[in-house]
């Protein structure tokens, strides 16, 4: 099994630096081929695409972790209700 390497965003969202932070998030995710997790909905199950869904879920978890790990600690719990990265992204906008 391959090792899951974290995506690192080298700026912390503190509430006053959203433009800089969002640019860094978008750029980093583009570099990892995961930008679509900010814009697209998850794949729908058709009974034959379980591996695609599993891969998507793992990658979405990486994106969610990158976002959560790059925001001020006091903001984290407000994001707990969201289940996919796209929802977190739009909530922070």
23 vs 48: CA distance, rounded Å: 36
Strand partners, 71: 13
Judge whether residue 1 has pLDDT over 80: no
pLDDT value of position 5: 77
* Mean pLDDT across 11-35: 96
Strand partners, 13: 71
Tens digits of residue pLDDT in 70-92: 999 999 999 999 999 999 999 99
Determine if the pTM surpasses 0.75: yes
Model confidence band, residue 4 (pLDDT cutoffs 50, 70, 90): low
Model confidence band, residue 6 (pLDDT cutoffs 50, 70, 90): confident
* Mean pLDDT across 18-27: 97
For residue 26, the tally of other CB atoms under 10 A from its CB is 14
């Amino acid at each position: 099994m391959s090792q899951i390497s974290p995506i690192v965003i080298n700026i912390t969202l503190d509430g006053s630096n959203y433009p800089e932070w969002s640019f860094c998030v978008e750029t980093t995710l583009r570099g990892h081929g995961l930008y679509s997790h900010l814009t697209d909905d998850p794949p729908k199950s058709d009974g034959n695409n379980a591996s695609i869904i599993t891969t998507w879920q793992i990658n979405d978890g990486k994106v969610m972790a990158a976002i959560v790990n790059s925001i001020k600690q006091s903001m984290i719990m407000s994001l707990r209700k969201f289940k996919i990265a796209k929802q977190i992204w739009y909530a922070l906008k």
